[in-house]
Amino acid sequence: MAAAAKLAVVRTTTTHHRACFPLAVSSATPVTVSLTSVTHKHEAATSAAATATAVMKTEGAVAPPTLGGRAEATSSFPLLASMWPEVHGADDWRGLVAPLHPLLRGEIVRYGELVAACYRAFDLDPRSKRYLNCKHRKRQMLQAVGMDGAGYAVTKYIYAAAPDAVAALPPVGAGAGRRPSCCKSRWIGYVAVASDGEAARLGRRDILVSFRGTVTWSEWLANFMSALAPARFDPAEPRPDVRVESGFLSLYTSEDVSGKFTTGSCRNQLLSEISRLVAEHRDEDVSITLAGHSMGSSLAILLAYDLAELGLNSYPNDSGTIPVTVFSFAGPRVGNLEFKNRCDELGVKVLRVVNVNDPVTKMPGVLFNESASVLAGRYELPWSKACYAHVGVEVALDFFEAGDIVCVHDLQAYIDQLLNSMVGEEEEVMCRRVASMFESWRWQMAVIRAGELMRVLGI
């Protein structure tokens, strides 16, 4: 009841808030999987998955399915259903990150593929009547992008309003007046819910929100609006010290009243749909999973904070709290240290998958970030509230290809790295890990920390 009341208030007060949101750094030591180059070796990935499957079968497990025509690294065997709270961060992924547990790796890849579906479904043809929207209807979308076996039903498309690229530019010339504000909605992602069969495999009914990253010029403009602004999501307790990046907040809260496919802010669309699905599945175990790439990961973290702050991740009649987990790919920082601390207090779990060579993951806050806000790890400095901070636990990849520099930020390259890390020189080690996964997961990988000082300094 209280959550519903807060949602009603939100719908009348959210449009004009602007802020920034953070990606957080946790105390967990990042794990660096070092690979020399990015190669799209689907055959190698398939071979690795097959090897893992063979070992799993010796343990009485069920073979993993295929997703989108490629061998899926996720595990379908019964262990996932019993272990899903830990895989979704119930214990902050302790013992699962160093080294990376196959179950966790599989879930990361699975959610990464569900985010990649946003890119494949986004219509970038200016001649199309669905330009800057999804190419397909909800019922056919996952099937149309080659993910018919994903096990989810899309329930709603999500649109975010960004300032028009021309209107956002400053006026030029003598007597030039202020350009009128103009926000246009673009398809940004979708909400989906696990089918009965997938819910049985996962051990709960999973509500998924998947966000794409930056594509249009107006979204790039929003990304560069890096001033921190109060989020103020809970009207009863605005928390002015909790600040987030204003460009991301604008995408999240702005409205396009003349939208072709929808009206209302991205925020209200999401809060309304998630609340509806929670009520619909109130008698089941439910999880809320938010996944996004680049700018989309920032929206996912902002939504996670919003849900938890308003208490909308609660079962009806206050019968318990629904876990909220973010799988972030190549995400920037979202807010300040107060935002990070508040996310921790609310139990928001964020797993950040980053490439150490990806500059986007170091912004905003290249200089003023979590490392510059506290002295000797104990004393808060006067400018700490103006410093950005990452939220969550980091899984660090290390890849770079001189002939394709942009690959350092490409989502498919991230997914391929997670798959290809199971082959080549590491194949034998990975097989041993899978074979002994029920016995011990304390065997440590060599943690590559070279370059940490440069990252801390924001260079």
pLDDT given at position 221: 73
What tokens appear for 161 in the block? 């309003």
The whole-number pLDDT of residue 22 equals 31
Residue 457: what pLDDT? 42
Question: What are the structure tokens assigned to 153, written together?
Answer: 């039903």
Concerning whether 294 is annotated as a catalytic residue, the answer is: yes
Q: Which two tokens stand for residue 375?
A: 């002295």
Name the residue among 15, 16, 18, 21 with its Cα closest to residue 264: 15
Give the Cα separation of 319 and 217 in Å (integer).
44
- CB environment 49-71: b (16+ within 10 A), e (fewer): bebbbebbeeeebebbeebbebb
User: What's the rounded Cα separation, in Å, for the pair 52 and 48?
Assistant: 6
Contact 334, 328 (CB under 8 A): no
pTM to 2 decimals?
A: 0.75
- pLDDT, tens digit, 9 for 90 and up, residues 347-364: 999 999 999 999 999 988
The β-bridge partners of 184 are 162
Catalytic, 285? Answer: no
Q: What's the pLDDT at 436?
A: 43
What gap in Å lies between CA 269 and CA 251, rounded to an integer? 12
Of 26, 250, 254, 294, which residue is the catalytic one?
A: 294
pLDDT for 369: 63
- Active-site hit among 17, 298, 409, 421: 409
Q: Is the dihedral of CA 310, 114, 254, 220 positive or negative?
A: positive
Report the candidate in 169, 204, 211 with the shortest Cα–Cα distance to residue 328. Answer: 211
Q: pLDDT at position 64, please?
A: 39
pLDDT tens column, 53-101: 433 333 333 333 334 333 333 444 458 999 999 999 999 999 999 899 9
The one catalytic residue in 206, 256, 306, 358 is 358
What pLDDT, on the 0 to 100 scale, is given for residue 1?
A: 52
Give the chain's residues under pLDDT 70.
Answer: 1-78, 163-183, 220, 223, 257-260, 367-385, 422-459
pLDDT at 6: 54
Identify the CATH number of the domain defined by range 2-168+181-456: 3.40.50.1820
